[in-house]
């Protein structure tokens, strides 16, 4: 982001075998969540991912704009 490279440690918060898993990370005043879901569609595997980030303090809310 903004030309910077970073690495975040995420942990699995919820999962269901052969269906989905959800992850969470907390870093630099923000909470990051993602969900990866796999499902069969027309005999093929479909992978869907969603991601969200939420600012937890004023500084990260300001730079998010």
What pTM was estimated for this model as a whole? Answer: 0.70
For residue 54, the model assigns a pLDDT of 86
Backbone φ and ψ of 62, nearest 5°? -65, -45
Name the residue with higher pLDDT: 26 or 2.
26
For residue 36, the model assigns a pLDDT of 97
pLDDT digits 0-9 by tens, 4-56: 787 888 999 999 999 999 999 998 788 999 999 999 999 999 999 999 988 87
CA distances to 7, 8, 57, 61 from 22, rounded to whole Å, are 18, 15, 24, 24
* Phi/psi-derived region of residue 58, left when phi > 0, alpha when psi is between -120 and 50, beta in every other case: alpha
For residue 61, the model assigns a pLDDT of 57
């Amino acid at each position: 982001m903004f030309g910077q490279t970073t690495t975040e440690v995420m942990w699995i918060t919820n999962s269901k075998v052969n269906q989905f898993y959800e992850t969470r990370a907390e870093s630099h005043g923000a909470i990051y969540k993602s969900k990866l879901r796999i499902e069969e569609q027309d005999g093929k595997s479909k992978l869907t991912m969603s991601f969200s980030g939420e600012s937890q303090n004023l500084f990260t809310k300001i730079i998010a704009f």
